Structure 1
């Protein structure tokens, strides 16, 4: 056996790893089985909690404890369910059944934020009781979207005993351990028998290879054995010789490549930092003066309405609007190219968004002598509603801008599990060779002179990047003289059974007699927005901080109808904190909105979590007026 080659020795050694593999497989089976038992227990507890929570909403709302008791008793027939408790939204006990651990009965305590937590010998599952669509409609009819209470109606606590599962685990572990011990004993006896002839030369080669890998290229393996083992030893020694000769050359190449890579990395980081600083400045600092300028121009137009200066005011408005469009488009392109936009997918109805967009563009279409139509749809889609709306805004804007006469149609056509959202126009059409080029930056087919009224040539480039981000497809069908059809393909989802239809607010009067509080630490922004609101008939109270806002509200001795607050204020963490504090101090229904130059999607998500609309600087006067009209209409309905 001492003269055997490496092949024979490996054949002998292979028997031991087979035993080890068998033991490892047994251990894996044990762990897998234990994990299955634990997962089965968890799934049973979760399913029971969800089932009880799904059917307990009406009983909690109506106080029907008898129905809740019957529900609990039916659920306790499931294995391992030791007790169930139903509490109110504030954690107060409503009804319980079975045996529950003391932590479940803490009075006045809200349920923990975790859906599952462990006790000494059981698991506690917590599930919120969501209000059904019917109850939610009955309870909050007429209060509006901002006043809807989204808290759960109550909580379900289900305690699941671990005793039976723990007993099964112990039995399985003991039997598996006995089997593994026997296998290890047999494998050990066999390994002891052959280790004296196999492990020594293999370990010597392994040590040499490890030292070579650590950089000690002077190590050599002494010749031992014969056959394939001798060939292996000679190959290791030859490898060490070649590595030693080429090490210096390789180190020199690596050092040179490292220097080049470090130089390029530093340049890329500097460029990235410069771009980030520009985006930050453009997103906030540039938007502040643009916001104030737009509001000043709108106020001036209101005050000089009908005068001989109206033509000059209109030209100024067009210039300001062009600057705002250019700033928004450039920032959108920069954020998309830098990967600063993240898609937040959700399921939503398509009709409310399309109706809102058609209403927004209808005035412009009528001024151009066009008919803007929407074909109603009941489809629901899966996408990012904010980014999808941005795509449709660009497509509609191009259709209205470049159509000289005729009509523009928005329609949704189902194609299997997708829907094609189409924007059809009777414009001049686009030749086939330009279908790809129109999605490039600053490319305009019919605007070689770069006329400002014909847009910037960035709308379709933004559409292309947003569709790639969302995974949607955008196609075009067009020929010169026959109009164009832009189609956006979006996945279709089934309409939820508890979906509540949107309702459109009615138009408000010309004069808006509301009391509005404006909170902004920038004097120009305060002056601009307050002057515009006053020109519409509003009573405006301005302040730069939370304390000033409290003072002006206290001096007027009445609650405002609307509070407009900047997101970034010098004295507090955010404008959301200011709105939360002021609304908590007011009586009656008070609307609130954020006005910000920060385009970070996180701001919109934080505001949406509180139910606050967001107006991005520079705020278009039409969007501000639409918000004020909505609040005024809500107040008139409440009074009427």
Structure 2
């Protein structure tokens, strides 16, 4: 069976036992066939082994070489006729050691060979990688075979390990660059945030400081227009134009500050239930004199609905929309009202103005975009609708516009409807007594402002009492019919809100906080103190309406 193979051996034995006998030439032929089959299989196996990448060596149980392939010879640079069947594998190890497998003088060759043989004699599966003195990395895998033989394969993975190191180095360099860029980006973002915060603080401070003299100038101009001599002269036109210039500067400063705060992300909405009619009342008081001065009618329809919004931010949206409507309406009216639509309330501003061309409706909400106007239009910065759009996105109140050339425009702000919330709020007493003879307390740490108020109030027949600090105001004897109080009254002084509380204890019920401050939710704070907010520079007509209210 070992010579012929199991099948051929069975045929021979079967023929012999049957007594039929076979000619010697038949046995020889069978032996030749078996020999050819064995030779073919052996050649096939050797050809296969010679054409794989791994070097392969097989030893018997006595650790003698019985098979190998061409890559094994080439991998260890063995002489052409060095290997033969039955050679102790120790000779191969010793030859390899002497030809650079281990570093010279690093250790004795025999001890290195002995360790290799001892590991091989255990005939256990092993897998390891080793790097030779020449830098070559070999992956060595050993497996025991039946009958005590042992096969070892060697794979040159030098290129693979080199690529892995290069990839690791590339990753380290990439991580270093990412860390560096991240640090640079973080520094740039921090610098930009500091610059934005600095710009916002600068604009807030600058607008406050600039509004103070504008406020005084507007009061002086208001007093000048009340002079009978001016009313009957050409100087009235100059006073009116000067007042309009101050109003334009005020709008520009306010728009720049609001836009800067929105860009900086420094506006945090305070959503709360709001009786919409309260907001409509503020709009009517502020813009009725402006509309009348242009010969227009401002109709603000009363409403009982409550919505969920930020009062100050929605008021800013309405102020910009109404101001734009008045600016671009030459005759007719501007209407402000509310319309129910499902579970929402549309706050609507409608005008009978010039209308907006269809091709311009997509860009009117951009910054510094102004539609063509007429010479009589008051100058504008083109920021009003940009602020409206930003606030619409911030509050989540969708904004829409409809317009027809020559027929006017309609802007809608969609707000969520909510139930009425009744809370005890100190109501400002409404006096219907004439302005003549009213005692008005004026508190401001800027003397030009109190001087301007004194001149204007005297022209109206009121009796002004001036104070340049909270301490001075509290020392004055009343009673007072009304009080105009600034918010910031100087270092070391109580602020205007605290002074309002003190004045209320002294039975001053009609109080206005007159300030250039623009901090968030200031209007709500003032309302909680039972007062009215009048932003600087105040319009004389609005001031008169407050005192006569």
Under a length normalisation based on structure 1, what TM-score does the superposition of the two structures give? 0.54
Report whether the alignment pairs 1:560 with 2:480.
yes
Alignment partner of 2:492 out of 559, 571, 576: 571
1:531 matched to 2:455? The reply is yes
- Aligned-partner Cα distance in 1 for 2:406–2:255: 29
Tell me which of 226, 247, 253 is aligned to 1:321.
247
Other structure's SS at 1:439 match: coil
CA distances 1:49-102 after superposition (whole Å, capped 9, x unpaired):
xxxxxxxxxxxxxxxxxxxxxxxxxxxxxxxxxxxxxxxxxxxxxxxxxxxxxx
Q: Distance in 1 between matches of 2:293 and 2:300?
A: 18
Aligned twin of 1:164: none
Unaligned runs of 5+ in 1: 1-236, 631-640
> In structure 1, what is the Cα distance between the partners aligned to 2:283 and 2:444?
29
Would the alpha carbon gap of residues 274 and 349 (structure 1) be closer, same or farther in structure 2, given more than 3 Å must change?
closer
Q: Does 1:307 align with 2:228?
A: no
**Counterpart in the other structure of 2:305:** 379
**Aligned pair partner of 2:353 in 407, 413, 427:** 427
Deviations 1:531-573 (A, max 9, x none): 222222222222222332244x14xxx4222233322222224
> Could you tell me which residue of structure 2 aligns to residue 106 of structure 1?
none
**Aligned match of 2:542:** 623
Deviation by residue 1:115-161 (Cα, 9 ceiling, x = unmatched): xxxxxxxxxxxxxxxxxxxxxxxxxxxxxxxxxxxxxxxxxxxxxxx
**Match runs of 1:137-286 below 5 Å:** 245-246=169-170, 249-250=173-174, 252-254=176-178, 256-258=180-182, 260-261=184-185, 264-265=188-189, 267-286=191-210
SS across alignment from 2:269: coil
**Bigger fraction of residues in helix:** 1
**Against the structure 1 CA distance between its residues 385 and 526, is the aligned structure 2 distance closer, same or farther, given a 3 Å change threshold?**
same
RMSD of Structure 2 on Structure 1 (CA) = 3.5
Distance in 2 between residues matched to 1:323 and 1:459, nearest whole Å: 14
Q: Secondary structure at the match of 2:378?
A: helix
Contact 2:197-2:264 within 8 A present in 1 as well: no
Within a 5 Å distance, the mapping from 1:381-420 to structure 2 comes to: 381-420=307-346
Change (3 A) 1:436 1:504: farther
Where in structure 2 are the equivalents of 1:42-61 lying within 5 Å?
Answer: none
For normalisation by structure 2, the TM-score amounts to 0.62
Residue 574 of structure 1: how far off its partner (Å): 1.9
Work out whether 1:463 is the aligned partner of 2:382.
no
Match of 1:25 in 2: none
Measure how far apart 1:611 and its partner are: 2.3
| Distance in 1 separating the partners of 2:417 and 2:471 | 49
Following the alignment from structure 1 to structure 2, what is the Cα–Cα distance between the partners of residues 328 and 603?
A: 15
**Distance change (3 Å), C-alpha of 1:328 and 1:452:** farther
Structure 1 residue 361 displacement after superposition: 3.5
Distance 2:327 2:177 in 1: 59
Say which SS state the counterpart of residue 373 (structure 1) adopts: strand
Unaligned runs of 5+ in 2: 1-160
- The 3 A distance-change label for structure 1 pair 594 and 399 is closer
1:478 pairs with one of 403, 422, 427: 403
Per the alignment, do residues 430 and 343 of structure 1 end up closer, same or farther by CA in structure 2, a change over 3 Å counting? same
Q: State the SS of the aligned residue for 1:437.
A: coil
Rounded to whole Å, the distance in 1 between the matches of 2:400 and 2:167 is 58
**1:572-591 alignment, distance < 5 Å:** 572-584=493-505, 586=506, 588-591=507-510
CA contact (8 A) 2:204 2:518 kept: no
Distance 1:409 1:436, change over 3 A: same
Contact 1:512 1:628 in 2 (8 A): no
How far residue 599 of structure 1 moved from its aligned partner, in angstroms, is 0.9
Q: How many residues align?
A: 388
Q: Is the 8 A contact 2:440 2:481 kept in 1?
A: yes
Following superposition, the deviation at residue 471 of structure 1 comes to 0.5
1:332 to 258, 264, 288: 258
- Determine which of 611, 614, 619 is the counterpart of 2:530: 611
Alpha-carbon contact 2:334-2:349 (below 8 Å) kept: yes
Q: Is structure 2 residue 231 aligned with structure 1 residue 296?
A: no
Closer/same/farther in 2, CA of residues 451 and 266 from structure 1, 3 Å limit: farther
CA contact (8 A) 1:374 1:409 kept: yes
Aligned to 2:418: 493
The residue aligned with 1:52 is none
Indicate conservation of the 8 Å contact 1:512/1:629, yes or no: no
Name the CA distance, whole Å, in 1 between partners of 2:165 and 2:195.
45
SS of 1:492's equivalent in the other structure is: strand
Aligned partners of 1:545 and 1:571 also within 8 Å: no
Cα shift at 1:523: 1.8
Q: Deviations over 1:492-511 (max 9, x none)?
A: 223458899x99957653x4
Query: How far apart, CA to CA, are the structure 2 residues paired with 1:423 and 1:574?
Result: 36
